[in-house]
Amino acid sequence: MKKADVVVIGGSAAGVCAAITAKRHYPEKSVMVIRCEEKVLIPCGIPYIFGTLGTSEKNLIPNAILEKNNIQLVIDIADSIDAASRTVALHSGESVQYEKLIIATGSKPIVPPIPGVEKKNIIAIEKDVDLLQGVLRDLKIITDLVIVGCGFIGVEFAEECKKGNPQLRISIVEMMRHCLQLVYDNEFCQKAEQALAAQGVSLVLDEKVEAFTGNEKVSGVRMKSGKEIKADMVILGIGASANAELAEKAGLELGPCKAVQVNRYMQTSDPHIFACGDCTEKVSFFDGKPSSMKLASIATMEARIAGANLFSSSRMNMGVIGVFSTVLGNAAFAAAGLTEEQAKKLGYNIVIGESEAVNRHPGDMPGAENMKVKLIFEAGTQVILGGQIYGAKSGGELINAISAFVHQRMTVNDLATFQLGTHPALTASPIVYQLVNAAEMAIKNLKSKKG
């Protein structure tokens, strides 16, 4: 029987981060990662295999990161967990004894029960190198690709597949009125739709897939309206569900989203077992209610909490804020916290501030691009609830500052008066710095609202 003080099941973003954190906080403890994959993909980089990167081999988490931190790697399948004896049974027939266990088994793509979904060339994107290499080969020879779902998976796959095969006809089918509607307010969604249309991607919005047509292999996608789109391949991009089967089989409690139930310290119903990442239950930072949000940034945050708390509680999970970013065309789209629509649905009385300016000063500096910032505040407390950014790619980092403001529950005046660093080649002018000016506009709107 193998032994390790800390055993981590799962070797993707959450598992790797949890193992490294455990080793940093408890250097005297032995740490082992058990994973079933020979090669582990960087989750957020998967769409870029099909265009920018051109191969799965350029999108891998290196094993060296574990070796560097003196973490043992075992390539095997964890078949079961015996919580009473604190052992993990492996598919090879071996078993591993642990003092503390972290489950980081991730998620699996949702395959909807739509008639015909079992046909060939209908792909639910999994973190599987061989599967993705096969898809990459096929994309070079097909003519019509349909993507179901216009969230981040859908829009990023569409753009990257177009880069990989410019002649490819691509359609995205979305049951909501706008693409990316769950993350952005309408004006940002419309900008995203324009960016996709400019690249020749056809958007079929406010439509529901009724069936996939064809014989053994898919040949079309039929909508509820009766419209049918030709398809040589279909990519399903409608989200993921928690991979919690191993935990459930071990008798651990599951939550309302059928994920592993954890407390604020990432501890499961067994005090010796922790869990993190897509396989775990989440709660909203704003109202404490269950959330199905799955992001690598959330997974690694949870992993750092789980790894640090194994033998002595020192960190607490305050809930998911939700920080998103992508690039469509040459423009960044980023969001953190609540949108205007989401805040209103939760019953907040809100005030909004917006600011738009170039991200260099003067505007003729190299690299100058326009950037729009929208901030949402609760009118009574004046605490920031969220923000969105469109334009210059530097917005991908600026959104992280907005997330920090939300996490620290900063007020509109905190933002209007915080000390910022600016430089002509790096940022907007301090006179028109978008974050500060959006806060100032919110103050102006707040005074008008009171008046």
Identify the CA nearest to 427 among candidates 361, 328, 365: 361
Rounded distance, CA 208 to CA 42, Å? 31
Q: Is 272 inside a domain boundary?
A: yes
Check whether residue 219 and residue 338 sit in a common domain: no
Question: Which residue range is the domain that position 166 belongs to?
Answer: 111-238
Q: Where are the alpha helices (DSSP H) in 261-332?
A: 296-309
What mean pLDDT do residues 225-230 have?
96
pLDDT digits over 28-57, tens only?
999 999 999 999 999 999 999 999 999 999
- Cβ count near 175 (within 10 Å): 17
Asked whether residue 389 is assigned to any structural domain, the reply reads: yes
pLDDT score of 451: 63
Helices (H), 385-450: 395-407, 412-417, 434-450
Average pLDDT, rounded, for the chain: 97
Task: Look at residue 266 and tell me whether its pLDDT is greater than 70.
Answer: yes
pLDDT (mean) for 311-321:
96
Q: How many Å apart are CA 93 and CA 89, to the nearest integer? A: 7
Which of 274, 309, 344 finishes a domain? 309
Same domain? 359 vs 435: yes
Bridge partners, residue 41, by sequence = 60
Same domain, 437 and 354: yes
Q: What is the pLDDT of residues 374-423, one digit of tens each?
A: 999 999 999 999 999 999 999 999 999 999 999 999 999 999 999 999 99
Same domain, 104 and 57: yes
Looking at the fold, whether 427 and 438 belong to one and the same domain comes out as yes
Give the residue-averaged pLDDT of 134-157.
96
One domain, residues 339 and 273: no
Say yes or no to pLDDT of 189 above 80: yes
The pTM (predicted TM-score) of the whole model is: 0.95
Give the mean pLDDT of 284-295: 96
Q: How many CA atoms lie within 13 A of 47 on its CB side?
A: 21
Q: Is the pLDDT of residue 448 over 90?
A: no
Which of 238, 261, 278 lies at the terminal end of a domain, its last residue?
A: 238
196 pLDDT exceeds 70?
yes
- pLDDT of residue 309 exceeding 80, the answer is yes
Number of H helices, E strands in the chain: 11, 24
- Show which of 223, 238, 253 is a domain's final residue: 238
Q: Which helix (H) or strand (E) holds 304?
A: helix 296-309
- The domain tally of the chain equals 3
- Region 322-347 average pLDDT: 97
**169 lies in some domain:** yes
In a domain, residue 288? The reply is yes
Contact predicate 254/247, CB 8 Å: yes
pLDDT at 449: 78
Q: Are 51 and 118 in the same domain?
A: no
Q: Is the pLDDT of residue 257 over 80?
A: yes
Q: Do 339 and 251 lie in a common domain?
A: no
Q: What is the pLDDT of residue 450?
A: 74
Q: Are the C-beta atoms of 359 and 373 separated by less than 8 Å?
A: no
Tell me what the mean pLDDT of segment 346-362 comes to. 97
